[in-house]
Structure 1
């Protein structure tokens, strides 16, 4: 059995790693054209009539210093993964990888070589955060993380919402969930249990807000998600309802249209997109563990693999923006968004 991080190792890794950005965007040095664009990123469609959660997301975007510049790209893909649903989790995490899909060829080629090198025979098996100890994937992990940083033009966006916030759409969990369930059913978006309705609304609002800031008119957009309760076909709801709901929520944030808007979820037979889908899984798991350790002082269970993911998440990359957001309660009983800057100390 592998021991958790030793206390001194965790202290070195986490001490001082977080910096909170609340108001003024951090100046960004001039970067190569068409790789990044500088903030602030304002969403003009958000009005005083919009829900408080919309304003929190809009405020977060205004203090993000930079995002990838996709203005020369015509195919954008978003991979999403969610975490924090186990009972002892401190945060619910929602992670999205936005990537210029037409530039993804070199990443695919190098991934095929990496899988051959390490004899990962199930060629599209994912690098799961909860299963990093599997021999071949463990040995390939560091190289995989380098490929992500060197060959993906995009952004990994992870939003962690404190679980003491029962609902971001109501003053209490019961009120918020009841309101969501009624609004979704009344809007012909299917019948949803309150907690699943809360999740799908959180996911789609975050997705829509960042899509509005990252994409351009008449691009092609594909949303590819891991199989989850929010996109399963149930008795009184289906994945088609989620697609329709994204159109409704997206209109709250976006002023542009897409040439093609596609939706897909991970199939049992994996494809090359699943090598990208592993990225938000790793980010969601690591940020959950980091914040929980910061709040409680407890160790992060794991070993060298977890440390490799931590270093990857905290280290800036040339082509990939890494954005970490924490939404937590305030003293007045509401909640606010904070942009976290992970500062590597190694």
Structure 2
């Protein structure tokens, strides 16, 4: 019994690790975006501890590109991939219960109102909180900010285009180059902080402009940009780094991808509401479920939102956003 108690205590300790986190690799030569992320990370109390795990996966999705959005949101789920068996098992039962298994009906922020998925959403979010050891991290950048890599959009985007091309990483127009670097720097920093040497890492992403196969660049270029960026932040080497994009045939990987999709959408709506002073967030009961989910703490899933906005001085500032559940009136 004593041995069992020790084992349980260790397993609890390995769920999260406490601050401060080592950001010593980020020097003055690093991009402004790195400095902004470092300021926000310095405000965190804890991150997931994946030191007992062999396989780590990153699922990414992005929001805020539609008209009327006030923030670009870059969301990614970093999880202990070798622990997802119970989640998959419970999710399979949930899909069977609601008739979502054949065909494999995908949970998506843009389509919350579909009857069976709408009814299954609260249970889906409960399974996410209960069975996934991970962090869901969203970087929200005010759309008034043209670039986080220089003093002006024109200067920064030209530099990005020239540097990526000269390094043999494809031809990127300014906006696409800015986006791929925002994504890669964000994922690389948090991957470095939550992993250890010799682990296997998978980055699985939705189809997007930054990983499309275009005439002058393709998904292989995005992979190389990420690997080089990861090397800027990580002091340790990985046993293997793999990549994947959403396939036509849907699977549990797309259920995991739904989590950052939900986070990217709901964070944009929440921050827009706060910025404009309009508390009326449309979307019905399904949106309310997502709002409650983002504001509810989980035993195994850390929910982290970083906001980057312009200060009154004109400079850029960053910080952690705390979404708290609304208090019910008496």
Tell me how far 1:127 sits from its aligned partner: 1.2
Select 2:60's aligned residue among 59, 72, 80. 80
1:130-151 deviation per Cα after TM superposition (whole angstroms, max 9, x unaligned): 1000000000000000000000
- Are the counterparts in 2 of residues 124 and 275 from structure 1 also a CA contact under 8 Å? no
- Separation (CA, whole Å) in 2 of partners of 1:60 and 1:296: 23
Determine which structure has the larger helix proportion and give its number: 2
Does residue 1:160 correspond to 2:114, yes or no? no
- Are the counterparts in 2 of residues 124 and 272 from structure 1 also a CA contact under 8 Å? no
1:86-117 deviation per Cα after TM superposition (whole angstroms, max 9, x unaligned): 12110000000011011000000000000000
Partner of 1:105: 85
Partner of 1:90: 70
- Are the counterparts in 2 of residues 145 and 312 from structure 1 also a CA contact under 8 Å? yes
Tell me how far 1:172 sits from its aligned partner: 2.3
Q: Aligned with 1:235: secondary structure?
A: coil
* Structure 1 stretch displaced more, 153-162 or 113-122: 113-122
Select 1:326's aligned residue among 283, 307, 330. 307
Tell me how far 1:122 sits from its aligned partner: 4.1
Partner of 2:6: none
Instruction: Point out which structure has higher relative CO (alpha carbons under 8 A, 6+ apart).
Output: 1
- Are the counterparts in 2 of residues 223 and 263 from structure 1 also a CA contact under 8 Å? yes
Instruction: Please give the root-mean-square deviation of Cα atoms over the aligned residues, in Å.
Output: 1.4
Q: Aligned with 1:264: secondary structure?
A: strand
1:265-302 deviation per Cα after TM superposition (whole angstroms, max 9, x unaligned): 10111121111000000001000000001111232111
- Are the counterparts in 1 of residues 71 and 142 from structure 2 also a CA contact under 8 Å? yes
User: Normalised by the size of structure 2, how large is the TM-score?
Assistant: 0.93
Select 1:149's aligned residue among 129, 132, 139. 129
Tell me how far 1:123 sits from its aligned partner: 5.1
- Number of aligned residue pairs: 317
What is the correspondence of 1:280-319 to structure 2 with a 5 Å cutoff?
280-298=260-278, 299-319=280-300
Q: Aligned with 2:196: secondary structure?
A: coil
Does residue 1:344 correspond to 2:293, yes or no? no
Q: In structure 2, do the counterparts of structure 1 residues 175 and 262 end up closer, same or farther at CA, with 3 Å as the change threshold?
A: same
- Are the counterparts in 1 of residues 77 and 134 from structure 2 also a CA contact under 8 Å? yes
Tell me how far 1:32 sits from its aligned partner: 2.5
* Structure 1 stretch displaced more, 137-146 or 324-333: 324-333
- Separation (CA, whole Å) in 1 of partners of 2:218 and 2:130: 37
Partner of 2:23: 43
Does residue 1:56 correspond to 2:36, yes or no? yes
- Are the counterparts in 1 of residues 39 and 319 from structure 2 also a CA contact under 8 Å? no
Unmatched 5+ stretches in structure 1: 1-30
Tell me how far 1:181 sits from its aligned partner: 1.1
Partner of 1:249: 229
- Are the counterparts in 2 of residues 42 and 61 from structure 1 also a CA contact under 8 Å? no
Unmatched 5+ stretches in structure 2: 1-10
Partner of 1:127: 107
- Separation (CA, whole Å) in 1 of partners of 2:98 and 2:163: 50
